[in-house]
Amino acid sequence: MHQGSSSDDAYWKANLSLIRNILIIWALVSFGFGIILRPLLSGIAVGGTDLGFWFAQQGSIIVFIILIFYYAIRMNAIDRKFGAEE
C-alpha cells in the first residue's frame, strides 16, 4: 500500500487520460453522430436511411462494447506498468 505515492499519482494520471479519451468517443458516437451531428451525416446512406439513424439504433451500442473492453485491456497493462495490480 505504501510503495511511494508518486508512482500511484502517475498511475492515476494515466487512468484519467485513458478515461478522458474513452468518454470523448462515447459522447461522439451517441450524442454526436446519433443525435446532434446526424444532419451532417445525412448524405451517407445506410439500408434505407442514414448513418446517424444507424448510430442511434445500433452503432453506438457496438462502440460502447468495444470501449469497455478496450478500457479493461489498457487498464490491465497500466496496472502492470505501475505495479498497481492485485
Partner 1 sequence: MTTQTLIYLVVGATFALYIGIAIWARAATTGEFYAAGRGVHPVMNGMATAADWMSAASFISMAGLIAFVGYDNSTFLMGWTGGYVLLACLLAPYLRKFGKYTVPEFIGDRFYSQSARIIAVICLIVASVTYVIGQMTGVGVTFARFLQVESSTGLYIGAAIVFAYAVLGGMKGITYTQVAQYIVLITAYTIPAIFISLQLTGVVLPPLGLFSDSVGTGTPLLVVLDQLITDLGFNSYTGHHTNTLNMVLFTMSLMIGTAGLPHVIIRFFTVPKVADARWSAGWALVFIALLYLTAPAVGAMARFNLVNTIQIGEVGSPDGNLAYADVPTWFTTWEQTGLIQWEDKNDDGRIQFYNDKNAAFETQAQEWGWAGNELTVNQDILVLANPEIAALPGWVIALVAAGGLAAALSTAAGLLLAISSAISHDLIKGTINPNISEGGELMAARISMAAAIAVATYLGLNPPGFAAQTVALAFGLAAASIFPALMMGIFFKRINNVGASLGMLAGLLFTVVYIFVYKGWFFLPGTAQFPDTAEYWVFGISPLSIGTVGAIVNFVVAYFVSQATEEPPAEIQELVESIRVPRGAGAAIDH
**End-to-end alpha carbon distance in the chain:** 11
Shortest Å, Cβ 52 to partner 1: 9
Q: Which residue from 17, 40, 61, 81 is in contact with partner 1, where contact means CB under 8 A?
A: 61
Q: Is residue 43 within the footprint of partner 1 (CB under 8 A)?
A: no
Q: Assess contact for 85 and 79: CB atoms under 8 A.
A: yes
If binding is defined by CB under 8 A, does position 47 make contact with partner 1?
A: yes
**Spatial distance between the Cα atoms of 51 and 7, rounded to a whole number of angstroms:** 44
Residue among 43 and 48 whose Cβ is closer to partner 1: 48
Is the CA virtual torsion 22, 28, 31, 33 positive or negative? negative
Residue 43 or 69 with smaller CB distance to partner 1: 69
